[in-house]
Amino acid sequence: MQSARFSISIVVPAYNEAKRIEPTLRVAIGFLSGLNLEYEIIVVDDGSKDDTVDVVKNIGDAHIIIATGEPNRGKGYAVRRGMLMAKNDYVLMTDADNSTPIEEFKKFYDVLPADIVIGSRAISGSEIEVRQPLYREYAGKFFNFVVQMLVFRGISDTQCGFKMFSREAARNIFSRTTIYGWSFDVEVLYLAKKLGYSVKQIPVIWRNDKDTKLKFFSTAFAIMRDLIKIRINNLRGVYSSTSKR
């Protein structure tokens, strides 16, 4: 890896992650400390009812910033808040369960400079180390089919929680988002395309966490509702003022 010429902000949305977030953050700190770059880790607590905030505070690392004080509003809102707080050249969102190992950032590093780089579990070179239950895999494929039909084509995996944005792209996109539930990723990538940002897809390692908070049937309904909302927003001209700021 060559000498870095940029700085990186890591955004970690967290809701009731007291049991999983500490090892994720410690691994991230260890990895990032070994790179020749400036970094910050922004943990956005989405109204946790457990000890998530105390666990993060007790790590006691100066690179960690904790954003609290909000009621539970959804993962999309937490990511949005972190993205707009970030001060560094690039902003990487990643999940509190480390489902895509932070070490996969090396692959993103190698394709910079870029507007947006996203991890994909659906292209050649990706590796699923721990698979989801079969019904979730088929549901994911159906979801991607619906995204392709209703919203946009060309991105094979919109839902992998490992995405990086230039600071400019992050601010221009996330300042316009309206969806805060599980399908916020689709709106984000839709806005990226509307704004003319390039999106690079990189194959990544991914591991399913058996303790995932995603409740299949209620989440599936919410995702379909949000996809329809994106379509309606577009028809109503909500996204029409998409010149870069």
- Residues 177-188 pLDDT 10s: 999 988 899 999
Whether residue 242 lies inside any domain: the answer is no
Say which CATH number the domain at 175 has: 3.90.550.10
Number of independent structural domains in the chain: 1
SS (H, E, C) 26-95: HHHHHHHHCCCCEEEEEEEECCCCCCHHHHHHHHCCCCEEEECCCCCCCHHHHHHHHHHHCCCCEEEECC
- Residues 92-133 pLDDT 10s: 999 999 999 999 999 998 899 999 999 998 899 998 866 665
User: Rounded to an integer, what distance in angstroms lies between the CA atom of residue 86 and that of residue 163?
Assistant: 14
User: Rounded to an integer, what distance in angstroms lies between the CA atom of residue 174 and that of residue 160?
Assistant: 17
Range with lowest mean pLDDT among 60-64, 65-69, 125-129, 226-230: 125-129
Whether residue 241 lies inside any domain: the answer is no
Say how many residues make up the chain.
245
Whether residue 19 lies inside any domain: the answer is yes
Percent of the chain with pLDDT over 70: 83
Is the Cβ–Cβ distance between 83 and 3 less than 8 Å?
no
| Residue span of the structural domain in which 55 resides | 7-235
Phi-psi group of 68: left, alpha or beta (phi > 0 → left; psi -120 to 50 → alpha; rest → beta) = beta
Average pLDDT over residues 206-211: 75
- Residue 97's pLDDT is 93
Whether residue 245 lies inside any domain: the answer is no
Is the bond into 113 cis (omega within 30 degrees of 0)?
A: yes
Inform me whether the pLDDT recorded for 135 exceeds 70.
Answer: no
Whether residue 163 lies inside any domain: the answer is yes
Residues paired with 165 in a beta bridge: 91, 116
Whether residue 243 lies inside any domain: the answer is no
Percent of the chain with pLDDT over 90: 62
Average pLDDT over residues 155-177: 94
Whether residue 240 lies inside any domain: the answer is no
